[in-house]
Structure 1
Amino acid sequence: MEENKKSRKLLQATDVIIIIITLITALSYAGVLKNAFITVYDDNAYVTKNAHVLGGLSVEGIRRAFIVFNDGNWFPLTWISHMTDVSLFGLNPAGHHLTSVIIHILNSALLFIVFTRMTACHWRSGFVAALFALHPLHVESVAWIAERKDVLSGFFWMLTMLTYLRYVERPGALRYVLTLASFICGLMSKPMVVTLPFVLLLMDYWPLGRVWHGGQTNHQCSSASLKRLIVEKIPFFVLSAASSVLTYHVQKTWGAVVSSDILPLKSRIANALISYFKYVIMMFNPSKSAVIYPIDERFQVWQVVGAAVFFISITAAAIIFIKRLPYLFTGWFWYAGTLVPVIGIVQVGTAAMADRYTYISFIGLFMILSMVIPNTVVNTRAGRAITAALACAVIIASACYTNKHVKYWHNSITLFERAISVTKENFVAHNHLGAALTDAGRYNEAYIQYTKALQFNYIYVAAHVNFGHLLIYLNRINEAIESYNRAITINPSYASAYHGIGVALLYQNKTTEAIPFLRMAVALNPNLVSARQNLERAMNRLINENNPAATMLMPH
């Protein structure tokens, strides 16, 4: 009877914690429903100008989601989620944002349930889940519609952990298959899930206690040798390897992988070490978070050495104190391991680091905090009260910061103005702010932003191309062609630059001269829809010279 009462109390505590986390998260993210699409930074490619997504949910759309490598990625479930939103809400951004917030809340609840079942520590698990739900660095994953892949893959990550826990408690073929299926769904949402099998091994050690090393386990699960646990996860590792190879090949084909000629390996390693350190600092102080942190190779030696000492010291401590502090081992290697695909050793794009990369990786650090803080306070009523008050203060502060950061994502202009205000010489942010101002018709202000972007990084191809677009709007066609040519000199494979020249020549009624450039743009990037359409219009104009010149699509 008493055992039943205890179970009911624990169930009630679980329900209360989930309700509290849900309400606080919903309130903190309520402002996101007023936010627009970030049309100059991937929301156009993912939703507003993606012909397949704009068609809504259909059999053909689902088929294409599985066979098309759109935007240099393969994540069919993410595309299907965007199609579903278009079918439900059209292009009303509030509906798209609402879906992301709901998924994020579900992820937080699932994380709490998983950790509660693994550790039997309700309030500590609640603290981990609350930090996950409310940390300001997670705003990017939730408030940016193009990052639906983060919250969706996060959902399947949590579901995989839950089904794996059920398999560990009661091994069986069906539960194993369900775990594997959840993992596959995660890979089909975002390839970053490839690190999950490694995390499952960490969980086997702590808190599941499945690794047998001559002593008893600390969980009501069967113990096993490390070799057996690794063999158990071979299908997961095989799928991770296949996904990694596929992702690398596609990204390289799309030109997203930065070559070692542009960014040497030593610079990548230095950036990785500094990023590991900066992420930890930003976990405690997220006041200067931004949507983009461009790579800066001007590292100071003391920065790299300091970051290396920090990383090596924590790693050594986690290994040395593995038996005394098993949560430090699992938490630290969870954090370090899940960041490996995006830490920059294989550099994709121009970002040195990104807030969205912390969506899963910070769970490891949150675990450490949830265990360290209570264990360092004296186990008295006063000590427990201090711990509870401190935890509440951290959660409230996180909720306030998150509510504030959501407003930065109101539109493209506010987002990149924020990035410029908290970073230095952020040429990427200046470029995107220029694009946002151009779309808003504020051409003089856009001109200033492109000038600054090229001042900070003259070989930044995207800024040259966008500057060319602006010059077309200003009817400075010859200058626009010069800007596009500078981009081609820097990167001869940049399709948008050829498209820009083609459009500029069409505006000058030089149809014959324009067609080779438009053909080159389509050849370099067959998915550049506007280039294909402009090429078709140019061919029609050439065939029928009496046909009035049609309005050309701008080369975005």
Structure 2
Amino acid sequence: MNKLISNKNAFVLLIIILTCITYSPVFHNNFINFDDDIYVTDNFHIKEGITLKNFQWAFTAVYAKNWHPLTWLSHMIDIQIFGMNPFGHHLTNLIFHLFNSFLLFLILQRMSDFYWKSLIVMALFALHPMHVESVAWISERKDVLSTFFWMLAIWSYTYYVKKTSIKLYLPVCACFILSLLAKPMAVTFPFVLLLLDHWPLGRWKKTSVKTHNCKILQHPLHILILEKIPLFLISVTSCAITFYAQNKGGALGSFELYSLKTRVANAIISYTRYIFKMLYPFDFGILYPHPGMPQLHFLIIASLFLILMTGLSILTFRRCPWMFTGWFWYLGILFPVIGIAQVGAQGMADRYTYTPMIGIYILVVWAIEHLFYTKKLSKKTMSSLSGLLVPILVVALSILTFHQSRYWKDSATLFQHTIDITNNNYIAHNNLANAMMKNGQIKKAIFHYSEALLIKPDYSLALGNIGIAFAKLGRTDDALKSYLKALAIDPENEEILTNMGNVFSNSENKENAIDYYEKAIFYNPDYVKAHINLGNLLMKSGDLDKAKSHYVKVLNINLDHKEIAHNQIGNLLAKTGDLDSAINHYLLALKITPDYKDAHNNIGVAFARKGNLNKAVSHFKKALGITPGDPDIEKNLNKALGLLKNNKINGD
């Protein structure tokens, strides 16, 4: 046993290695169609990487209903290093999770001086399947990144409490600010420090039990609160910015949708359900729909549990100080996202427990040791039990987490699993249908859009999406009916208005198409799809000047789809015979998107018209490499090769 303890640092390394193995499926996982498009794959600023303009955007823009500049910068850095390969983005998330796990161990061990209990808490945090969402979801970079700086802030605090000085206080503030710049959920940090002051630091004068760390001075509680005034001011500022950002983005749920009574009831249920899911680590999904008002008997049971645990932690404030800290850690950190201020359509989310659940891990681990102690078990018996049960627990959690990580393989796998484990999940049906649309499974997609609409008939997003599916199948009347239903619910939706325009454009109803495109632009002047589609229609009609104005508008908006605008301006210039200018725009399109098939084909045609057949052949071949078997491109290539062969025969 002495030899085992002397090599105990190897156990920390073992947990880290085991965590890497456990999360290894994420390296084969793709981006998903839920937030990853907003955060990475369809975000023009992120896809450009680190530039001065994008750096400024990260700190000034309210985007995706949030303000978290450090998160945006981390995604840009990933693009700079890994490009659009999801492997690298997943790797970054896992690295931060490993750092967070290790820092948690260092903090607990430094504060409490209990190695083995700190190690077990680290293992629970690192390996519990409840945290897969925070690690395996690329969009949840904000979670692991914010926690990294949050842990560094607590680590800095362990130095400050030994020798209180402004010099040592500043790193605490700096790390806390960085944590908030990644995700505002860290606002409860000052409250957490007060809990740690009670236990394990023992800084509360007269009320705290002195721990091993006798060098730390005790102070009256009001002094400890005053000490954290700068941190509380930082929290208040962050709350104000977050409220502004989410209110501006429409993320805050209406009290007309869920009354305060319903929100409070759901919060009580959620507090209890999270603990149940921690103890019964199965059936984790990406989204749990808001259940509305829970049944009375469930609400009573959950309320009694919360009252019992809260009362017990207060009654054992001095005798079991770890219980007070652990329980209120959980209640306090989770409070901002428990649903009192409703954000989104979910009733709860596993990612919200990433840091709050640490409090429960602490409570459980220290409680079990306390139980063994009160039963007066010998150290040898305790060591034997721990040596048997802890490895079994660690292995079991590793297997479950490994299995859970595999569900994040792609959108179809993830949302099918979520549908399997939840009820009435209209959002999961919609996103599964989106994945099937991308894979060309249009009829299956229509089935799941229909399932979403059976659950929520006024779900405008699914109405718009099923309209797109109907249009792809040529069911124009069904598409129009779906779009009109969606517009009755959301009349200013620029995407649905544009899709209506597309239907009329395809049916040669120019006037109606233009009307809907212009409505979309009226409600959102920066909606590039409407500008591009309207430009295409005007160019087809011969109104080249107006068409060009819409393409130029897309370039000035400086968002995504700039390559399409350059390609279309090239087509417009080619129509007028200005082939050199057309080629320049095609090249700009290819600079943005090197595998843009249409641009390769169009520049090939332009080069062929100029007589530069070698370059034309090169671009036609590149276009065929992107979409093999395309009959139009094959025709262009064969024609260019024929001309090239004739030129060689004639000696040109």
Question: Normalising to structure 2: TM-score of the pair?
Answer: 0.79
1:324-403 to structure 2, matched below 5 A, reads 324-377=319-372, 378-380=376-378, 381-403=380-402
Match of 1:123 among 112, 116, 134: 116
Q: Distance in 2 between matches of 1:61 and 1:255?
A: 24
Q: Please say if residues 199 and 208 of structure 2, whose CA atoms lie closer than 8 Å, have aligned partners that are also in contact.
A: no
- Which residue of 2 is the match for residue 36 of structure 1? 30
Give 1:118-517 correspondences, 5 Å limit: 118-213=111-206, 217-218=210-211, 219=213, 220-297=215-292, 299-377=294-372, 378-380=376-378, 381-515=380-514, 517=516
SS in 2 for 1:339: helix
What SS class does the counterpart of residue 352 from structure 1 fall into? strand
Deviation at 1:18, TM superposition (A): 2.4
Q: CA deviation at 1:503?
A: 3.5
Which one is further off, 60-69 or 102-111?
60-69
**Cross-structure match for 2:619:** none
TM-superposed CA distance for 1:169, in Å, is 1.4
- What per-residue deviation string (whole Å, max 9, x for no partner) do you get for residues 229-288 of structure 1? 111111211121121122122212212211011111111111111111110000011211
Unmatched 5+ residue regions in structure 1? 1-5
How far does residue 370 in structure 1 lie from its aligned partner after superposition? 1.3
Q: Which runs of 5+ in 2 are unaligned?
A: 555-560, 565-652
CA distance in 2, matches of 1:526, 1:401: 48
Aligned-residue offset at 1:540 = 6.0
How far apart are residue 179 of structure 1 and its match?
0.7
Q: Which moved more, 1:471-480 or 1:102-111?
A: 471-480
Counterpart-to-counterpart distance in 1, 2:353 and 2:420: 22
1:200, distance to aligned residue in structure 2 (A):
1.0
Q: Is the 8 A contact 1:136 1:402 kept in 2?
A: yes
CA distance in 1, matches of 2:130, 2:137: 12
Corresponding position of 1:24: 18
Distance in 2, Cα, partners of 1:200 & 1:516: 59
Q: Which has the larger radius of gyration?
A: 2
How many corresponding residue pairs?
A: 546
Residue 307 of structure 1: CA displacement? 1.1
Q: Secondary structure at the match of 1:454?
A: helix
**Aligned match of 1:107:** 100
Cα 1:313–1:115 change in 2 (3 A) is same
Please give the alpha-carbon distance, in whole angstroms, between the structure 2 residues aligned to 1:514 and 1:503: 7
Instruction: Work out the CA distance in 2 between the residues paired with 1:22 and 1:303.
Output: 39
Distance 2:6 2:59 in 1: 41
Mapping for residues 44-63 of structure 1, pairs under 5 Å: 44-63=37-56
User: 3-state SS of the aligned residue for 2:251?
Assistant: coil
Q: Using the alignment, how far apart are the partners of 2:272 and 2:330 within structure 1?
A: 11
Q: 1:511 to 1:331 in 2, by over 3 A?
A: farther
Q: Secondary structure at the match of 1:360?
A: coil
Q: Per-residue deviation at 1:387?
A: 2.6
Deviation at 1:201, TM superposition (A): 1.1
Q: Distance in 2 between matches of 1:451 and 1:407?
A: 27
Q: 1:209 deviation in Å?
A: 0.8
Contact 2:192 2:329 in 1 (8 A): yes
Counterparts of 1:215 and 1:548, CA distance in 2: 74
Q: 1:24 to 1:517 in 2, by over 3 A?
A: same
- Structure number with higher relative contact order (C-alpha < 8 Å, ≥ 6 residues apart): 1
- Equivalent-residue separation in structure 2 for 1:233 and 1:30 (angstroms): 40
Single out whichever of 532-541 and 409-418 deviates more from structure 2: 532-541
SS class of match (1:21): helix
Residue 296 of structure 1, CA deviation? 1.6
Cα-to-partner distance string for 1:440-498 (whole Å, 9 max, x where unaligned): 11011101101111111112222222222222322333422322332232344544333
Residue 488 to residue 348, structure 1, CA distance change in 2 (3 Å) = farther
Instruction: Please tell me whether the aligned partners of residues 541 and 547 of structure 1 are also in contact (alpha carbons under 8 angstroms).
Output: no
| Paired residue secondary structure (1:258) | coil
TM-score, with length taken from structure 1: 0.92
Deviation at 1:70, TM superposition (A): 1.6
CA deviation string 1:20-70 (max 9, x = no partner): 1210100001111001110x2011111111100000122222121111112
Contact persistence 1:512–1:542 (CA under 8 A): no
CA 1:345–1:437 in structure 2 vs 1: closer, same or farther (change >3 Å)? same
